[in-house]
Chain A
Amino acid sequence: MGYDWDFATILQNWPVLWVGLKGTIVIFLVTVTLGLSGGLVVGMGRYSHLKLFRWPASTFVEVFRNTPVLVQIIWFYFAFPLLTGIEVDPFLAAVLGISLNTMAFSAEIYRAGIQSIERSQWEAGKAIGMTYAQTMRRIILPVAIKRVLPALTNRGIEVFKMSTLASVVAYVETLNQAKLIADLNFNPIESYTAVALIFFAVLYPVVQATYVLERMLRKSDM
């Protein structure tokens, strides 16, 4: 264990790492927004009584939940362009893979939330003359989303961790930049430790906040 830790090289390369951090933040914001909002649409489709909506939504969810994200990212990077003729850069491949995966997982969360609402809420909505869409938007969804908030936060945490997979197709994010620093300065220990610590420092408070949120929601009447 006679290794001398030297984080000075990391600090010297801070601008390199900073570029990566910005890349991580950008891809996280894009994928989490697309994934969680798209998931709501798919989740409502899964809940629908109409086969026209339920079937495509269910197929989508099964396909994207039952394949690894890395396979999805690589498929979108290498195979998708051949199929469609659309040029796909690393950013787009990672965004497609991660957001579609997140859509599928969050769709199931939203669906569980919607299903957990008592039937009488629907009946009450109908009784005061609301349509299906109105009841869903004004009565069901506000409560359903509140109930599944901890699960959605957990998804968000997963998405943040998943963003490192974008490095596999050479999108410039934190891990990719750490690899660069490690290769140039021969300091893989410090580089990868720094990345691990950065992720821990960001996510640990979020995880703790999720616990608090869970406790608060359990206490509030629902």
Chain B
Amino acid sequence: MIRLFRCGVCASMEWNFLAVLSDADMLLLGLLNTLKVTAVALAFGIPLGLLLALSRLSTLRPLSAVAAFIIEFFRTTPPLVQLFWFFFALPILIDVSMTPFIAAIVTFSIQSSAFFAEVFRGGILSIDKGQWEGAKAIGMNYRQSLQRVILPQAVKRMIPAFMERAIELLKTTTLVSTVAYTDLMYQANDLAQKTFRPLEVYTVVAVIYFLLIFVFSQLSIAVEHRLARSGESTVR
């Protein structure tokens, strides 16, 4: 009985990467789209994160409360729920035509900005109070002190945490495949159905993701070591 069952399996058990390789351009397109979504979401997410962090640190109570709420809300709800909301619900609410790409960008920009905001906040708070006072003493206003004295120091400390969040974002972008955006994961599903070779396709795709993320992780570790040597503590 067991033998019979095993033989039914072994027909499909032979690894055959040919089908995957002959459609490598499909996966390549997916990979490029994955990188595109990640890059665009980062480009919006980081400035938005800074804005949220500054608002949360603001002495204006209502502003700081609103920023805190946005940050907490997007940190405590699952990104997949957010994506579905922006993709399925938002177009009904404000009558815009929503494409998977736009939904992905909106979701991941806001979602990552909530996390970036906390990194920024941690970085800014880690700067010694004397730096603010020093800037004030030489006649700088809030904006100038922030721009010229505080942020340059804070950002350097935040780099490792930033890179970690960026890697998390790269991983989270796999969710866009569920709203049919042609990222690497979506292309994998497509290819697996087309070739009837899910084992090879999903294994290859897992390896691609692994290599991509592993390289970025090693890079971030290298940067972290370098910063540690130059005497900058890291903020997490």
A residues within 8 Å of B by Cβ?
1, 3, 62-63, 65-72, 74-75, 78-79, 82-83, 85, 157, 161-165, 167-168, 175, 178-179, 182, 188-189, 192-193, 195-196, 199-200, 203-204, 207
Contact = CB atoms under 8 A, between A and B. Distances in A.
A68 B209 contact: yes
B92 A71 contact: no
A177 to B, nearest CB: 12
A78 B213 CA distance: 22
6 contacts: A62-B214, A67-B206, A67-B213, A71-B205, A74-B188, A200-B77
Contacts, number: 118
Contacts of B171: 67-69
A201 to B, nearest CB: 9
10 closest Cβ contacts across the A-B interface? Answer: A203-B76, A188-B88, A78-B198, A68-B171, A161-B78, A164-B78, A189-B89, A66-B213, A85-B9, A70-B174
A175 B89 contact: no
Given A75-B202, A75-B206, A207-B75, A70 B175 contact: yes
Q: Is the interface of B mostly helix, strand, loop or mixed?
A: helix
Interface in B177-213: 177-178, 185, 188-189, 192, 198-199, 201-203, 205-206, 209-210, 213
Contacts of A175: 78, 80-81, 84
Contacts of A182: 88
A196 B185 contact: no
Given A67-B209, A71-B202, A167-B80, 20 more contacts: A3-B93, A67-B206, A68-B172, A68-B213, A70-B185, A71-B185, A71-B206, A72-B206, A78-B198, A79-B198, A82-B198, A82-B199, A83-B199, A163-B78, A164-B78, A165-B80, A178-B84, A188-B92, A189-B89, A195-B81
Contacts of B17: none
B65 to A, nearest CB: 14
B174 A71 contact: yes
A209 B9 CA distance: 50
A199 B77 contact: yes
Pick the most buried of B72, B177, B210: most chain A CB atoms within 10 A of its CB. Answer: B210
Q: Is the interface of A mostly helix, strand, loop or mixed?
A: helix
Interface of B: 5-6, 9, 12-13, 72-73, 75-82, 84-85, 88-89, 92-94, 171-172, 174-175, 177-178, 185, 188-189, 192, 198-199, 201-203, 205-206, 209-210, 213-214, 217
A203 B81 CA distance: 14
A68 B80 CA distance: 13
Contact of B79 (A66, A79, A161, A179): A161
A203 B78 CA distance: 10
A115 B144 CA distance: 41
Contacts of B172: 68
Pick the most buried of B84, B88, B198: most chain A CB atoms within 10 A of its CB. Answer: B84
A78 B193 CA distance: 11
A161 B77 contact: yes
B93 A189 contact: yes
A162 B210 CA distance: 19
Contacts of A164: 78, 80-81
Contact of A192 (B13, B88, B206): B88
Given A70-B174, A71-B185, A192-B88, A200 B9 contact: no
Given A67-B206, A68-B209, A85-B5, A200 B76 contact: yes
A188 B89 contact: yes
A37 to B, nearest CB: 23
Pick the most buried of A66, A167, A193: most chain B CB atoms within 10 A of its CB. Answer: A66
